[in-house]
A and B are shown apart, each in its own frame.
Chain A
Amino acid sequence: MPGHRTKGFCASAVALVLCAVLAGCGGSGESVGGGKVVLRYTWWGNPDRAERTEQAVALFEKQHPDIRVQTSFSGYDAYKQKLAVQASGGDAPDVMQLDYRQIDQYASGGVLFDLSQQKTVLRTSEIDAGLLDTGRVDGVQYAVPQGRGTETVVYDVKAWKDSGVPLPTQGWTWDDWAEAMRALKERTGKPGATDPGWSEDSFEVWLRGQGKSLYTEDGQLGFTADDLTRWWTFTDKLRREGAVSSAEQTTQVDGTVENTPLGRGTALSDTNWDAPSSGYLAIVASGVALAPMPSNEDGTPGQYFKPSMFLGVGASTSHPKAAAQLIDFLINDDEAAKILGATRGIPVNETIRKETAPLLKDFDRTISDYQASLEGKLKDPPQAPPSGDNALQTTFQRDYDQVSYERMSPREAAENYVTEAKAELRS
């Protein structure tokens, strides 16, 4: 009967379509052929970090033949956005690299897995208790710090030396720094540094040097429009003098070392975190060195040791154990530590840190020595920033754009920022 045939045809076609749709939805994180567990591991970073991460992951796969790790990485800005979308869609990766600024929001949003459930696999005894605590929200360990980082002035050694301007020294002040920038500009014709006015991180160092902080303990803004006005007036003046990069150069900064003025060869130094500074080696032919961030005029340092990044597990993962194994490997394995070096900051595992410090080579050694030179001199890190801060980082840069392109005065821009920040932190 034709009627029957059509019905059957109908049903099978509908089934087919449904299958296709459902298959499209499922899939992620499932086991594939041969019973292998597939983990998705995502992180941000530069090509140098990518190469070492791939090597470490290959070794992990060799030790765990039943686990396959799919890695993916991008620049920080792109990563931040992509992860937020994945996480909210319930599609967070099995293992993800997280920033200090993300922990609070992700943990309270239910995106992260409670790592204490995998205690047997993931050992944390070798991590400094204070540092480990930074991955804790409301008493639950949602993430494990993966490295320790601090901010630095990274500079083109040869060009700086050739200019005859005295090299930066321990304990230099913001005034010393500004003078050096002016002298570099005068002698080399190039601006001395990236205009630090765009960077919330640099502002934080300057602010902390004066005993203030970005946020108060209850997650409100820790500074006033006056403070920010002073900072932006300071940097804007240097920009007008040509001592730091022009607006056109500064606006291209996007979190990758390639797009900083130093990376593009149009300035002699940059303020950055120490770990990603290894990326400059590939693009600044004559080599780079690290100097401490300038301190306040009375000698108070503003920089601090910060858990450079964390590893967390997606709450929706089907393989929490395998995910915990991967984290354990990345943090506690000797071989992995040798491969990874200091690309994500100095290792957090204390035994490994002591063992590997003398073995570190090249730039890893530079970072390790740099951190050692600051040991005991810095103040305690601030608590993890409130979740609104995520958006404010971008706002900060945008508002400073208005200053450097001379569309707003430092005061107007600072007031703009403070208004927006207050609204962001309230919601």
Chain B
Amino acid sequence: MTTTAIPAESQRATPPAPKRRPKREREGAAWVFLSPWVLGAVVLTLLPMAVSLYLSFTDYNLFDPPRWVGLRNYTQMFTEDPRYWRSVVTTLTYVVIAVPLQLALALVVALALKSMKHGKAFYRSAFYAPSLLGASMSIALVWRAVFNDGGTVDNLLGTGGWVNKPGWALLAVALLTVWQFGAPMVIFLAGLQQIPAELYEAAAVDGAGKWRQFLSVTVPMLSPVLFFNLVLQTIQAFQVFTPAFAISAGKGGPADSTLVYTMYLYDRGFVASHMGYASAMAWVLLLVIGIVTVVLFRTSRSWVFYASEGDR
């Protein structure tokens, strides 16, 4: 039944067809308007990617022409470079700390905002602001000052500077990301507002309390949004760079404790001038992010609930 309904409906929705220009002409115009983006994609994305893939099989120090070394960069990375593995572990630790914390905070704030009667717009902007500011270097530097010894956190908690303690520095980096929970929060908020009020009413009639309603109505209804945020934030977290760079003054210190993957990549490329090695690292990162995303999508089948599934 549904299969026949769709074309019927879409036909009804289509406005009376205007006089069409010849197809070619329309295509031409489309290309004209697309050209800046097509050009951008080719020149600024595809071409550099191709070059980087080539470089990942070479030894290239920026000054001399690249020298072909086959898979050496890759084998060196996996078998001879302890700092590479340290950066992998640091990044994974970071992802595991930052992503759940950030999503939990975003959800809690979104829930609070949803039930607010007044001043919603103000608080929504106020909580979103860090996401606009946070990516900037200046905020990261402020963060460094706040968590430095003699900084605000030191004065308040008397814990000494976090950014100078190998055990704490990564947490300071993660907190900077967590603090920028605005984007997932706004998406959560939109998702929450999509949940039909009748579901809550029905649940209430059946005697479900607030907590039960949250677990049985909100969570399943929100799961596609939760999944979307999870995928997006995880991908971003794997690529964390700015906060780690700023907080460690570009060194990944102290004692390599904030040496996240992209920092080490930067270090190999721009400090040690091993561009081939850095390119190889970039491709491995791309591959790993791809795999993680696929895994997330696979597992999502068991916990993400789409309202449309109910019809089947």
Contacts of A10 in B (CB 8 A): 28, 31-32
| Of B25, B166, B273, the contact of A391 (CB 8 Å cutoff) | B273
Query: Does B197 reach chain A (CB closer than 8 Å)?
Result: no
Q: Closest approach, in angstroms, between the C-beta of B81 and any C-beta of chain A?
A: 10
Query: Does B151 reach chain A (CB closer than 8 Å)?
Result: no
Q: Which residue of A lies closest to B64 (CB)?
A: A109
Q: Closest approach, in angstroms, between the C-beta of B64 and any C-beta of chain A?
A: 6
Query: Does B249 reach chain A (CB closer than 8 Å)?
Result: yes
Q: Which residue of A lies closest to B60 (CB)?
A: A88
B59 touches A427 (CB 8 A): yes
B28 touches A106 (CB 8 A): no
Using A77-B250, A424-B272 as known contacts, say yes or no to A6 and B25 having CB atoms under 8 A apart.
Answer: yes
Instruction: Report Cα–Cα, A398/B252, bound state, in Å.
Output: 9
B149 touches A9 (CB 8 A): no
Contacts of A333 in B (CB 8 A): none
A17 touches B39 (CB 8 A): yes
Q: Please choose the segment from B236-244, B253-261, B297-305 that sits at the chain A interface, where 4 or more of its residues have CB less than 8 A away.
A: B253-261
A398 touches B270 (CB 8 A): no
Q: Mark A232-271, 1 if CB is under 8 A from B, else 0.
A: 0000000000000001110110100001000000000000
Chain A contact residues (Cβ within 8 angstroms of B): what range?
Answer: 35 or more
Instruction: Report Cα–Cα, A3/B165, bound state, in Å.
Output: 69
Query: Does B160 reach chain A (CB closer than 8 Å)?
Result: yes
| Of A2, A77, A111, A405, the contact of B63 (CB 8 Å cutoff) | A111
Q: Mark B278-308, 1 if CB is under 8 A from A, else 0.
A: 0000000000000000000000000000000
Q: Which residue of A lies closest to B165 (CB)?
A: A248
Query: Does B271 reach chain A (CB closer than 8 Å)?
Result: yes
Instruction: Report Cα–Cα, A427/B275, bound state, in Å.
Output: 13
| Of A106, A109, A390, A401, the contact of B253 (CB 8 Å cutoff) | A401
Query: Does B164 reach chain A (CB closer than 8 Å)?
Result: yes
Contacts of B35 in A (CB 8 A): 13-14, 17
Instruction: Report Cα–Cα, A6/B229, bound state, in Å.
Output: 43
B63 touches A106 (CB 8 A): yes
Contacts of A9 in B (CB 8 A): 29, 32
Q: Please choose the segment from A79-87, A323-331, A359-367 that sits at the chain B interface, where 4 or more of its residues have CB less than 8 A away.
A: A79-87
Contacts of A84 in B (CB 8 A): 62, 270, 273
Query: Does A110 reach chain B (CB closer than 8 Å)?
Result: yes
Instruction: Report Cα–Cα, A399/B103, bound state, in Å.
Output: 36
Instruction: Report Cα–Cα, A88/B63, bound state, in Å.
Output: 6
Q: Closest approach, in angstroms, between the C-beta of B169 and any C-beta of chain A?
A: 10
Contacts of A17 in B (CB 8 A): 35-36, 39
Q: Mark A364-378, 1 if CB is under 8 A from B, else 0.
A: 000000000000000
Instruction: Give residues 113-161 of A contacting B (CB, 8 Å).
Output: none
Using A17-B36, A109-B63 as known contacts, say yes or no to A251 and B256 having CB atoms under 8 A apart.
Answer: no
Contacts of B36 in A (CB 8 A): 17
Instruction: Give residues 24-44 of B contacting A (CB, 8 Å).
Output: 25, 28-29, 31-32, 35-36, 39, 43
| Of B32, B149, B255, B274, the contact of A14 (CB 8 Å cutoff) | B32
Q: Which residue of A lies closest to B43 (CB)?
A: A21
Query: Does B12 reach chain A (CB closer than 8 Å)?
Result: no
Contacts of B252 in A (CB 8 A): 398
B63 touches A78 (CB 8 A): no
Instruction: Report Cα–Cα, A84/B29, bound state, in Å.
Output: 43
Q: Closest approach, in angstroms, between the C-beta of A89 and any C-beta of chain B?
A: 9
11 pairs across A/B with beta carbons < 8 Å?
Answer: A10-B31, A13-B32, A81-B270, A84-B270, A84-B273, A254-B250, A254-B251, A259-B249, A387-B61, A391-B273, A427-B61
9 shortest A-B CB distances, which residue pairs?
Answer: A109-B63, A88-B62, A248-B164, A391-B272, A405-B255, A251-B254, A401-B255, A13-B32, A81-B270
